Structure 1
Amino acid sequence: MDSLRGRLLVATPAIEQGPFLRSVVFLLDHDDDGALGVVVNHPLDADVDDVLPAWGGRVNAPDCLFDGGPVAMDSALAVGVLSTSSRPPEGWQSMGGNVGLVDLAGPPPVEGQLAGLRVFAGYAGWSAGQLESEIEEGAWLVTDALEGDLLSPSPESLWRDVLRRQEGDVRLWTTLPDDPSLN
């Protein structure tokens, strides 16, 4: 399978529970060794300011931490999008295109270096072949990411928003009730 870096994984109704229920994952890396991404539509009730005070004023709204995935929930990962007219901040690790990881142990980026920044508690990870198997089983829809997906100001509606812009019957998934047992 070709690399899926920079694309979205959209949870299908086959994922009925757990941390990936109705999630949208932005893939930061994908190769023969596995995949790494962050769940971009699960904001937490913790402000970045409360956990990383120096970084609170640097993140995009909503200015909270995001549940990046079930791996290493006790650690933080900052994902940024470079401004088109600036150099990367100190500690920048490119993940492809204008997207990269920002070193939270270093100084915060200066004004204008980043078009946007999000901080994630944990991340989503797959070992070699695991993600490919889950895609074959129908757990994930793979689609192109639009520029605003990673930094959506309305992350709670992102799962439905991404599905609505797809072609075919997958758009019908947006009409499924949050809890089918209440139907």
Structure 2
Amino acid sequence: MNKKFYDYLFDFKNAIPPAKGRVLLAEPLLQGRYFARSVILLVEHNQKGSMGLVLNKPLSFNVNEKVDLFSSCESPLFLGGPVHTNHLFYIHTAGNLIPQSYPLSNDLFWGGDLKTVQNLLDNKIITSEQIRFFTGYAGWDKLQLVDEIDEKSWIVSLLSTETILQEAPQDLWKIAVSELGKKYRHWLNFPENPQHN
């Protein structure tokens, strides 16, 4: 395996293993439309593989412009990843108000009954600040994500639900890296495109 030049600076792998509800932070030089400087919320992680939603890649249009069912939702639609980009996914804080939701933490859930989501939004029982919609997701086969973490493409971290849903998407990677502590602060100084350095 070829070492990345900053492997020689320190081993940045931390002790947090991947798990549902945790986030992946892309190492600063990872490239590509979907994953450069991405923050990915893991919604599934088990022996069969992993599934996540990219939290910080908003598209240039709102949910109500693309999804007729949610005509009252003026929140941005996010690009959740390269897999099944014609499918809609969502995370929310509504919990048991939305049947068939899956808990990711004490106050963050994903999925659930679509018609109920529509009714809750239309009747203003939940606000668009309590839910985020994604088209597509990021997926990994069995052990693929663990291998990528070992190769230092990702670091696993924890973010509060408030940070996930309320922080400006364009700032989320920097905020998440800052929360990792002093050891990772120099990540913030890496150029987004190393060829421009």
**How many Å separate the matches in 2 of 1:118 and 1:37?**
14
Give the structure 2 partner of residue 94 of structure 1.
Answer: 102
- State which of 44, 50, 63 in structure 2 corresponds to 1:48: 63
Note the 1:52-71 alignment, pairs <5 A.
Answer: 52-58=67-73, 63-71=75-83
- State which of 111, 125, 140 in structure 2 corresponds to 1:112: 125
Residue type of the partner of 1:78?
A: Y
Once the 2 structures are TM-superposed, how far is the Cα of residue 108 of structure 1 from its aligned partner?
Answer: 1.3
CA 1:151–1:180: 2 relative to 1, 3 Å: same
Q: Deviations over 1:105-125 (max 9, x none)?
A: 555142335771111010011
More strand by share: 1
**How many Å separate the matches in 2 of 1:31 and 1:20?**
21
**How many Å separate the matches in 2 of 1:46 and 1:107?**
20
**How many Å separate the matches in 2 of 1:167 and 1:52?**
40
- State which of 17, 32, 37 in structure 2 corresponds to 1:22: 37
Seq. identity, %:
28
Give the structure 2 partner of residue 170 of structure 1.
Answer: 184
**How many Å separate the matches in 2 of 1:176 and 1:75?**
34
Once the 2 structures are TM-superposed, how far is the Cα of residue 16 of structure 1 from its aligned partner?
Answer: 2.7
Once the 2 structures are TM-superposed, how far is the Cα of residue 18 of structure 1 from its aligned partner?
Answer: 4.1
Q: Which SS does the other structure have where 2:175 is aligned? A: helix
- 8 Å Cα contact 1:74-1:122 kept in structure 2: yes
In structure 2, the gaps of 5 or more residues are: 1-15
Once the 2 structures are TM-superposed, how far is the Cα of residue 9 of structure 1 from its aligned partner?
Answer: 0.2
Give the structure 1 partner of residue 152 of structure 2.
Answer: 138
Once the 2 structures are TM-superposed, how far is the Cα of residue 102 of structure 1 from its aligned partner?
Answer: 3.1
CA 1:2–1:170: 2 relative to 1, 3 Å: closer
- State which of 53, 70, 81 in structure 1 corresponds to 2:93: 81
Residue type of the partner of 1:104?
A: L
- 8 Å Cα contact 1:14-1:138 kept in structure 2: no
Once the 2 structures are TM-superposed, how far is the Cα of residue 146 of structure 1 from its aligned partner?
Answer: 1.2
- 8 Å Cα contact 1:26-1:40 kept in structure 2: yes
Q: Deviations over 1:119-139 (max 9, x none)?
A: 101001111101110011101
- 8 Å Cα contact 2:24-2:154 kept in structure 1: yes
Once the 2 structures are TM-superposed, how far is the Cα of residue 4 of structure 1 from its aligned partner?
Answer: 0.8
Once the 2 structures are TM-superposed, how far is the Cα of residue 168 of structure 1 from its aligned partner?
Answer: 3.3
Aligned residue-pair number: 176
Q: Which SS does the other structure have where 1:171 is aligned? A: helix
Larger radius of gyration: 2
Q: Does 1:37 align with 2:52?
A: yes
TM-score normalised according to structure 2 size = 0.79
- 8 Å Cα contact 1:49-1:55 kept in structure 2: yes
- Superposition RMSD on alpha carbons, in Å? 2.3
Q: Which moved more, 1:117-126 or 1:107-116?
A: 107-116
